[in-house]
Chains A and B, each alone.
Chain A
Amino acid sequence: MKGTNGCADKWRSRLINPVLGKEFTLRMRTVRSMWALFFYLLAIGLLALGYLYVTRMSSSGANAFNPDESRIMFIFISFVQLGLIAFMAPGLTAGVISGEREKQTLNLLLTTQQSSASIVISKLVSSLSFMALITLATMPVYSIVFLFGGISPGQLGMVFLFYWFTMLALGSFGILFSTLFKRTMLAVIVAYGITLFLFGGTAFLYLIVSQIMEEMTRSSGGAPGDFGWIGHLLALNPGAALYSLFDPEMTRWVFRMNMGSGGSLSTGQPALQLWQEFLIIYSILIIAAVLTAIRSVRPRLNKKSKRA
């Protein structure tokens, strides 16, 4: 009996390392987590109901909700959820390391046998698990959409995978700033600043640059030059990537600006869908952010041995 016990123990300790276990326990014991969950569900629930109410009012008389409308509502809820994630992820992660530094518990943790990687990754995983839990808790809201049809479970699954990936990205940026900056305040501000740039800044830049490029090709008088490259700007934008998941035409539209002059899209297909490019770019950024965070949790001690 002792043998099996030890074995289970070993497996458990391999899956849930001490830092992860601690993060789970402490997070679930704080009242703040409860409130976060509550307000998140309240926000998304209210927005979904509000949307229903407004559309019902406008489609006067018609009682039925057709699949097209339900699809639009699905897209609406999905964007609301993405917005909430963008709002939540930096806040949940930007304090995880600097918070321990400020509470003066970090030094104690750093003198244990836990590796920097296990500390950073455990904290990331625990924040992500909490966010995943919250997003899963919004499932009932989607049942409204399913009631009316127009959306397949597969699409819903894709959207949730996309959410989790976005959380991972925003979360790893948050952790990176949390390790780089001593103060949580600064880390939180920078994390939200970056998030704002990714959501708003890239879209804004895209619009500005496309305007300028259009002006330039028009004034040069010749055939519109191919400036489809500016579409890559939008590949940084989680919102645009999410939309391209619903509407494959989106990618072509984004990359083929010259359609404006001819009035029709050119026939070529973009090499990658916007969301695929998004996945690739952000995978690289996530790896870079996590590795940098791991390297900077502890002071670089062995610079001398490297020089030698």
Chain B
Amino acid sequence: MKTTIRTDHEARAAAPAAAESPMIEIRGLCKQFGAFQALNSIDLVIPKGTVFGFVGPNGAGKSTTMSILATLLAPTSGTAKVGGCDVTRHPKQVRKLIGYMPDFFGVYDQFKATEYLHFYGASYGIPKAERARLIPQLLELVNLTDKKDAYVDTLSRGMKQRLCLARCLVHDPELLILDEPASGLDPRARIEMREILKELKSMGKTIVISSHILPELAEMVDEIGVIEHGRMVAKGNVQEIQSRMRVKRILQIRLAGREEEAEQYLGGRPFVNRILRDGRGVHVHFDGHDEEQSELLHGLIEQGFRIISFSEAQTNLEDVFLEITKGDGEGE
């Protein structure tokens, strides 16, 4: 199922001559609602073609940042540029470049799926003939071809979400801003959504996607930013983080007796951070690489400890990520 979406209408040609400028450039962005500081000096640069994951707890400011990028909210101070265009000065240009999917959205119930897409296509100034060619492709991309004549209010939530994603794509935007596109979807629909996003990524689109859940994002994004209380607390390249995560591991060791002794011995070894002991064995927070890990095991055996098992535990991505990137977000 390989679908290519090309629009050769004027949107491309009219795009500002800013091939070198990053897709998104946010500098010192602040947003205040009354006395409440929703965004506190956010800095963020996202190059073209990147898939950027925006993570943070409820109320952190993800949707606020995205609304500002989508020209729906005026920042209190700071600047935000999309494709080199300032969102407050050239909102119309910016709107041409982005496909925005809000966290909550409604649909016009009385429209059929195809009509719905026709309406938004027309609203972006795409000629009718081109829409007629494009819309079946979009429906195909989001797996809604068999629902093309269904009224929108008969679609399930996941289908509406996918229809909205297709809607974001009608004008072939370079940047997709997706605010929790997978919220409210069942696991299967989440996987489908992820597949669609991968396909969009392969088309070369820049994607900004938000979620509460880091592991869900980690496997499909290139970069991750963590936002809390309106501040960017951490930011980094996912691959880098993952390779550093492989360094940071928790070892689970089960011994046939002499556990206390083993704990003492391990405490004195290099690269060992912390040791915990419970009924299931000894847990060692270990900073070393594979080399050092085998050294550790070798040492244990040499000391005559009788080992039942020696294994790496699943690490908590969130914890590790936050620990590794602590402070990276600031001043970058």
Contact = CB atoms under 8 A, between A and B. Distances in A.
Given A105-B105, A113-B92, A13 B115 contact: no
Given A9-B127, A111-B72, A112-B123, A302 B108 contact: no
Nearest to A108: B105
Interface in A1-20: 6, 9, 13, 18-19
Given A103-B106, A108-B102, A108-B167, A301 B88 contact: yes
A141 B122 CA distance: 40
Contact of B108 (A6, A9, A105, A114): A105
B189 to A, nearest CB: 20
Interface stretch (A21-29, A52-60, A165-173): A21-29
Nearest to A102: B106
A235 B82 CA distance: 52
A111 B88 contact: no
Nearest to B77: A304
A305 interface: yes
A110 interface: yes
A30 B151 CA distance: 13
In this complex, the interface size class of chain A, counting residues with CB under 8 Å from chain B, is 20 to 34
B110 A30 contact: yes
A152 to B, nearest CB: 42
A26 B71 CA distance: 27
B120 interface: yes
A19 B123 contact: yes
Given A9-B128, A21-B122, A107 B105 contact: yes
Given A104-B105, A112-B95, A300 B74 contact: yes
Give the interface SS of chain B, mostly helix, strand, loop or mixed.
loop
Nearest to B92: A113
Contacts of A13: 122, 128
A221 interface: no
Contacts of A108: 100, 102, 105, 120, 164, 167
Nearest to A100: B106
B98 A111 contact: yes
B125 interface: yes
B70 interface: yes
Interface residues of B, number: 36
A302 B111 CA distance: 34
Contacts of B107: 105
A109 B107 CA distance: 11
A113 B96 contact: yes
Nearest to A17: B122
Contacts of B95: 111-113
B72 A112 contact: no
Interface in B187-233: none
B97 to A, nearest CB: 11
A299 interface: yes
Interface in B72-131: 72-74, 87-89, 91-92, 95-96, 98, 100, 102, 104-108, 110-111, 115, 119-120, 122-125, 127-129
Given A104-B106, A300-B74, 18 more contacts: A9-B127, A18-B119, A29-B110, A104-B102, A104-B105, A107-B72, A107-B100, A107-B102, A108-B100, A108-B102, A108-B164, A109-B123, A112-B95, A112-B123, A299-B73, A301-B87, A302-B91, A303-B74
User: Which 10 A/B pairs are nearest by Cβ-Cβ distance?
Assistant: A18-B122, A112-B123, A104-B106, A103-B106, A29-B110, A301-B88, A105-B106, A18-B123, A111-B100, A301-B74
21 contacts: A9-B128, A9-B129, A18-B119, A21-B122, A30-B110, A105-B106, A107-B70, A107-B100, A107-B105, A108-B164, A108-B167, A112-B95, A112-B120, A112-B124, A113-B95, A113-B123, A113-B171, A300-B74, A301-B71, A301-B87, A305-B88
Interface of B: 67, 70-74, 87-89, 91-92, 95-96, 98, 100, 102, 104-108, 110-111, 115, 119-120, 122-125, 127-129, 164, 167, 171
Interface of A: 6, 9, 13, 18-19, 21-22, 25-26, 29-30, 103-105, 107-114, 298-305
